[in-house]
Amino acid sequence: MSAVVSTIRTRFDEPSAGATTRHRFRAGLQNEMLRQKRFLQRRMSCADTAEDLAQDAILQAYQGLGRFQARSSLSTWITGISANLRRQHLQRAPQHRFEHLDLDEQSLADDALEPSLQLELEQLTATIEAAVTRLSPELREAFMLVAVRGHSYQSVASLADTSVTNVKNRVHRARKALKQAVRESERPPRAPGHEHP
């Protein structure tokens, strides 16, 4: 088991999240990751941005699991996080304000995890885990503590004996490196003889 997956699973073992919620979240995580990705891709014209927001939504769900109050299903709650992230993105980027693609809401609920999507998720997970191991120790530590374990920038700055600005910069650089690794893994391989010098 990788360090990233192990750390994320440790997050669900915290007493603040109920046992039933933790179990449901773990059991449905792969389906949920794909559901959120499809949810956002159907509403946005840029697939890369939709994927980034879906990853952010799952990460926010990890970090906020203790606040989930079961007034709705876990999937509905996470979809709400995705919708909020999309809205925030569109407010910050006015050129995308009118992005919208039609969506059959029931089709989301009925989507089953297809074998090809399962393989895609496993490859994505392996790509991210490999990219995390390639980060410098400073970037990896900041990313794991802030983005995965949910520590504040201030607490990580104290632990690392550095400024909050440095921690924010390290987390930003780590996220940028991980997103780049995912993008590179999704590029089709170049045909022999067509490589650039």
Alpha carbons 19 and 32: distance in angstroms, whole number? 18
The Cα-based distances of 176 to 16, 50, 52, 181 in angstroms read 30, 15, 10, 9
191: CB partners within 8 A, 6+ apart? none
More reliable by pLDDT, 127 or 17: 127
Mean pLDDT of 15-28: 56
Same fold for the domain at 1-111 and the one at 114-188? Answer: no
pLDDT in tens, 32-56: 878 888 888 888 878 888 888 888 8
pTM comes to: 0.41
Per-residue pLDDT band at 190 (split at 50, 70, 90)? low
Cα-based torsion angle of the residue sequence 122, 126, 127, 129 in order, rounded to the nearest 10 degrees: 140
Is the pLDDT higher at 92 or at 79?
Answer: 79
CATH C-level class of 1-111: mainly alpha
**pLDDT score, position 2:** 40
Query: pLDDT tens, 140-176?
Result: 888 888 877 778 888 889 888 999 999 999 999 998 9
Hey, where are the domains in the chain?
1-111, 114-188
**Given this model, what pLDDT does residue 77 score?**
80
pLDDT in tens, 101-127: 444 444 444 444 566 666 776 777 788
* pLDDT at residue 68, rounded to an integer: 72
**114-188 CATH choice from 3.40.640.10, 1.10.620.20, 1.10.10.10, 3.30.70.1150:** 1.10.10.10
